Chains A and B, each alone.
Chain A
């Protein structure tokens, strides 16, 4: 390239950047257009299509789509008690898993962030992350083998003379497996929240005569609550949307909203009804996010 050409192109570049500098809206528009069109096209449009198809119906015998507006799907959803049971079961187990994970994660994160020596800290961090390297399916199948009637759990209990448990293929099994699988997503935000609490706060609390429980309740807990709320968004939403764990380790009457959606799309070919039911977790999650925002979860992320 000749020096004249270089000067020319650098000139043009200067002019473009000057123009952009003078028009901040244009600059912002260009910067945002990529992510924004992605958001609108991939995310909002998909949601819109979901919502539209929930207002369609299918011909009962051939299963072909009928493209005329109807609210029948939502009516079925509210009128058939089985769907209410399934929705409540899904939300209930998601809540139970969230509470379990929070109870397990707080002491662990506290130890890892404040008590453990430096080298152990890194080891613990890796230990939390390593399960995420293996496939979700592998981990669920392993639990299926552990909890089976003639599985590892009952064998161990038998060896130490404690009889046997019959929790394979049940809601208990789902609760255990979900709590195990999503635990890292709860530990990490709480860990970082605890790390951010200055040592001086704890010391000041002790200086003022507070015992450790009082310090935890009045100083530490309010400060890490946003972290717990942030972690709960993960554990709650991930459980809410899952259908693989209920299929693999659930028993009779362990269907989740996701299972009904899957059966209606993949088996019964009733996409409109699946879409209608899929709006339920959307609404639940919307409400949950609003509450989480009140608790300051988004500042903690």
Chain B
């Protein structure tokens, strides 16, 4: 085979590119808004979900499929960014619902990927804890763009055999003691964890909200993460990655979700998790309905199903998070004695206030100024740290 005409190929490529550049015009975006449904019709037989790993366990999905006739197809996403991207693909009609966290929900609302929902069609909504009935991350101008689901903290996970004494502070993942054995999420929102730590250890920086950072504060957090990088074994992308790192002894300490902890515990790994003294970041998730959902009736059936006390309890215990439905406590006790207080389902409002919930960083700071760094700056910094 002889390809002596490579120069011709190159010329052809350039020519086609030139033609294409001149020929391509711009196209416009359209957005649509539909009026709210007033009743739930018959199911469409299918439901396509974008979910966090562990959110669609057979334990509560199988009975739902049987009862509603809606077959559930779930796609796991590893980060909020991935969720936003998945909801945007294929014109936004590929998936019906997404279990968006607070750092994705506003982006989906502003981007027009999700539609308003009628909370009157979800009777259990009235039993939700008041803070998550109409939180600012899913309710805009009185419109509910989704139904709150569960919430919880990002925890510090460690191997009890290798990590001694037991850590009490996030400093454990920033100190060289466990060099090469630390793992943290591959997710720009991890900057908030560093900012939260700095808000307690370096008060002079003046960080009051880890999601509202000025340029100097963002740089300080990024510098802390750059110092942390040589300590990192791997930035985990999927929960299952972190589970494998802990199982094979490659990582002994790291930032995690309660899901990893309960999975490792079920596998008899010597692990423990805690909320360190500095507090923790956390998430409050919402099932949001895609603007162009093909199976809206199944979607409403699904949110009703997962809002019911029984399923709320099942999911809370399976994942290790806190249900939004205050009625779930009794069901939790039925499944596992003491689980209601263990997963904070009966905790006072003060506990809710200690968790700094994920939200999308925007230019407007909470204090009326608009010199905060928006999410694209966070992504850029994160690339500088991990690249």
Q: How many residues of A contact B (CB 8 A)?
A: 50
- Mark out the residues of chain A between 200 and 259 whose CB falls within 8 Å of any chain B CB in the assembled complex: 247, 250-253, 255
Tell yes or no: B294 within 8 A of A by CB: no
B20-38 vs A, Cβ < 8 Å mask (1 yes, 0 no): 1100111101000000000
Is there contact, CB below 8 Å, between A80 and B3?
A: no
A269-299 vs B, Cβ < 8 Å mask (1 yes, 0 no): 1000000000000000010011001000011
B46-65 vs A, Cβ < 8 Å mask (1 yes, 0 no): 00000000000000000000
A118-142 vs B, Cβ < 8 Å mask (1 yes, 0 no): 0000000000000000000000000
- Mark out the residues of chain B between 127 and 149 whose CB falls within 8 Å of any chain A CB in the assembled complex: none
Tell yes or no: B200 within 8 A of A by CB: no
Residue in chain A with minimal CB distance to B12: A44
- Residues in A with CB closer than 8 Å to B2 are 298-299
In the assembled complex, the CB of A138 is this many whole angstroms from the nearest CB of chain B, namely 16
In the assembled complex, the CB of B68 is this many whole angstroms from the nearest CB of chain A, namely 31
Tell yes or no: A92 within 8 A of B by CB: no
Is there contact, CB below 8 Å, between B234 and A251?
A: yes
- Measured in the bound complex, the distance between the Cα atoms of B17 and A49 in whole Å is 8
Tell yes or no: B375 within 8 A of A by CB: yes
Tell yes or no: A9 within 8 A of B by CB: no
Is there contact, CB below 8 Å, between B85 and A269?
A: yes
- Cross-chain contact of B249 among A150, A253, A267, A301 (Cβ < 8 A): A150
Q: A63-B107, A67-B27, A82-B384 are in contact. Are A253 and B229 (CB under 8 A)?
A: yes
- Cross-chain contact of B387 among A168, A169, A253, A293 (Cβ < 8 A): A253
- Measured in the bound complex, the distance between the Cα atoms of B383 and A58 in whole Å is 17
Residue in chain B with minimal CB distance to A48: B20
- Residues in A with CB closer than 8 Å to B245 are 169
- Mark out the residues of chain B between 165 and 190 whose CB falls within 8 Å of any chain A CB in the assembled complex: 180
Q: How many residues of B contact A (CB 8 A)?
A: 52
Is there contact, CB below 8 Å, between B107 and A45?
A: no
Is there contact, CB below 8 Å, between A44 and B386?
A: no
B363-386 vs A, Cβ < 8 Å mask (1 yes, 0 no): 000000000001110011001101
Is there contact, CB below 8 Å, between B88 and A63?
A: yes
- Residues in A with CB closer than 8 Å to B39 are none
Is there contact, CB below 8 Å, between A67 and B26?
A: yes
Residue in chain A with minimal CB distance to B238: A247
- Cross-chain contact of A290 among B6, B26, B232, B374 (Cβ < 8 A): B6
- Measured in the bound complex, the distance between the Cα atoms of B248 and A148 in whole Å is 6
Residue in chain A with minimal CB distance to B86: A266
Tell yes or no: A116 within 8 A of B by CB: no
Residue in chain B with minimal CB distance to A249: B234
- Mark out the residues of chain A between 56 and 71 whose CB falls within 8 Å of any chain B CB in the assembled complex: 60-65, 67-68
Q: A52-B20, A55-B21 are in contact. Are A267 and B82 (CB under 8 A)?
A: yes
Tell yes or no: A86 within 8 A of B by CB: yes
- Cross-chain contact of B248 among A51, A82, A151, A255 (Cβ < 8 A): A151
Is there contact, CB below 8 Å, between B107 and A62?
A: yes
Is there contact, CB below 8 Å, between B250 and A148?
A: yes
- Residues in B with CB closer than 8 Å to A168 are 248, 250
In the assembled complex, the CB of A62 is this many whole angstroms from the nearest CB of chain B, namely 3
- Measured in the bound complex, the distance between the Cα atoms of B240 and A276 in whole Å is 31
Q: A61-B110, A298-B2 are in contact. Are A48 and B16 (CB under 8 A)?
A: yes
In the assembled complex, the CB of A143 is this many whole angstroms from the nearest CB of chain B, namely 13
- Mark out the residues of chain B between 75 and 125 whose CB falls within 8 Å of any chain A CB in the assembled complex: 78-79, 81-82, 84-85, 88, 107, 110-112
Tell yes or no: A260 within 8 A of B by CB: yes
Is there contact, CB below 8 Å, between B21 and A61?
A: no
Is there contact, CB below 8 Å, between B88 and A49?
A: no
- Residues in B with CB closer than 8 Å to A253 are 229, 386-387
Q: A61-B110, A266-B82, A266-B85 are in contact. Are A40 and B387 (CB under 8 A)?
A: no
Tell yes or no: A161 within 8 A of B by CB: no
Q: B residues within 8 Å of A by Cβ?
A: 1-4, 6, 10, 12-13, 16-17, 19-21, 24-27, 29, 78-79, 81-82, 84-85, 88, 107, 110-112, 180, 229-230, 232-235, 237, 245, 248-250, 360, 362, 374-376, 379-380, 383-384, 386-387
Q: Give 9 pairs: A residue, B residue, CB < 8 Å, sorted on A.
A: A47-B17, A49-B20, A63-B85, A64-B88, A251-B233, A252-B233, A260-B383, A267-B81, A286-B10
User: Which A-B residue pairs are the 5 nearest by beta carbons?
Assistant: A82-B387, A62-B111, A252-B232, A67-B26, A148-B248
